[in-house]
Amino acid sequence: MTVLSSRPTLAYATRRARGDFESVSPATSFVDLPRVFTMHRGGVLRDGVVAYETFGSLSADRDNAVLVLPGLSASAHVASTDGDPRSGWWESMVGPGRPIDTDEWFVICVSALGGCRGSSGPASIDPKTGRPYGVTFPELALEDVAEAAAHVVRALEIDQLACVVGTSMGGMVALALLERWPSLARAHVNISAGLHSMPFAIAMRSVQREAIRDDPSWQGGDYTATRYPASGMRTARKLGVLTYRSSEEWSHRFARRRVDHRAEPFGREFEVESYVHANADRFSRSFDPNCYLYLSRAVDWFEAGQGVRGGPADALVMGVRTDLLFPPEQQQDVADYFRRRGAAVRHVVIDSDKGHDAFLVDVEAFGRPLSSFLNNRPWRIG
C-alpha cells in the first residue's frame, strides 16, 4: 500500500521557485507514487507524487467516495473548504447541499499527473539533475494520469468508489481508469469528453503546441521565469478559449462592440479580442508550458479500448450541443460504449450556447441531472 504523505511535492517547490504559477491550495494532500513508476508508454518516473484534495467525510464503511477527475488545467481544488476558502473550479457543483453534496459524499479531487497543480510533471525538479524535467519528463499518457489517481484511492484505503466523475480530459482519464479497474466504481459520470479526440481537435491542439514550441523563448523546454514563452502560451490559450466556448455565445456576449485600444497597428479593437487576450494573458503565466504540451499530447493520443466488458452499473453521460472539441456525437459514443459494457446509461445533451466549457458555467443545466443521478440510483448504498 502506498503511503500517505503531506510533504510538499517537488513540482510545488519548483513552481514556488519560479514564483509564477497559481498557488496549490494549502488544503492539498500528497501521495507518493511507487519509487519507480513505469509509465504507460514505457518511460519511468522516479519519486513521483500525486496531489489531491478531499471534501466531506468518508463513511465508516468507506463506501461514499466520489472521485472527481478534472480537465487539463484545473487543480484538485474543486471547491472551497475551511482549509482553503478560495473558490474552487467547480464551486457551485461541489459542497454541502450542492449537486455533488459533500454532506453525503466524500469527494476526492486528484490533480493530473503531468500537470503543474501539485502532482509530478515536467515542471517538477528531476532529482537526478536538480533542475526541472522539462522535455526529459517521460512520455505521458492519460493511462498514467488514471494510474496516479488510482494510487490516491488506494492510499485512502477505499476498495470501491461510489462514483467517478470526469470532466473534459478528466472524462478520458475516467475511461482509462475504468478500463484498467472496471469494478473500481459503482457508477460513473462522464462530462463533455469522448472515446478519443477527433482530428479537428487534434489539429487545433497541434497548432497550440506549435505556438509554444515556435516561441524562441521556449528554448527546447529549458525556459526560465525571465526568458519564458509567454507569447506562445498566449496564442495556445487563445485557441483554447475559442474552442472551449462557441461562436453562438461570442455573438450573444460580444456582438461587434469595440474597445478603444488601438495603441499599435493591427492591435485589439473589438471587445472579443480584448476579452480573449486578457484571459490568455492571465493563463500564460499560470500554467507551465511544458506541462501544457505533455497533457495536450496525451489527450490526442488517448483511445478507449473496445473490448472491455463489465464496469459501473450506472452511468450518466453529458455533453453540449455547441461543443466544438467534443461534439455531442462523441458523448453518444461514450454512452453506447458503457451500454455495451452492461451499464444502465442516461445520456443528456445540454442545449447551451456555452460550448465545451458549459459544465463550468451552466451549473443548473448540469447540476440537475447530476444531482438526480447521484441521489436516486440504487448504487447509492454501497
Q: Applying CB under 8 A, which of residues 5, 154, 179, 242 lies at the interface with a copy of itself?
A: 242
Q: Would you count residue 40 as binding a copy of itself (CB under 8 A)?
A: no
Binding mask 308-337 for a copy of itself (x = CB under 8 A): ----------------x--x----------
Q: Would you count residue 91 as binding a copy of itself (CB under 8 A)?
A: no
**Is 356 a residue of the active site?**
yes
Q: Which is nearer to a copy of itself, 57 or 251 (CB)?
A: 251
**Is 231 a residue of the active site?**
no
Range in contact with a copy of itself (rule: CB under 8 A) among 36-44, 159-167, 194-202, 373-381: 194-202
Binding mask 131-170 for a copy of itself (x = CB under 8 A): ----x-----------------------------------
Q: Applying CB under 8 A, which of residues 179, 254, 340, 349 lies at the interface with a copy of itself?
A: 254
Q: How far is the CB of 314 from a copy of itself (least distance, A)?
A: 29
Range in contact with a copy of itself (rule: CB under 8 A) among 35-43, 90-98, 263-271, 304-312: 263-271
Chain centroid to CA 302: 14
Q: Would you count residue 363 as binding a copy of itself (CB under 8 A)?
A: no
Dihedral sign for Cα 143, 35, 17, 218, please: negative
Q: How far is the CB of 199 from a copy of itself (least distance, A)?
A: 4
Q: Applying CB under 8 A, which of residues 183, 224, 247, 375 lies at the interface with a copy of itself?
A: 247
- Binding region for a copy of itself (CB under 8 A): 135, 196-204, 206-207, 209-211, 213-214, 216, 221, 231, 235, 238-239, 242, 246-247, 250-251, 253-256, 265-266, 268-273, 276, 293, 297, 300, 303, 324, 327
Q: Which residues are catalytic?
A: 168, 323, 356
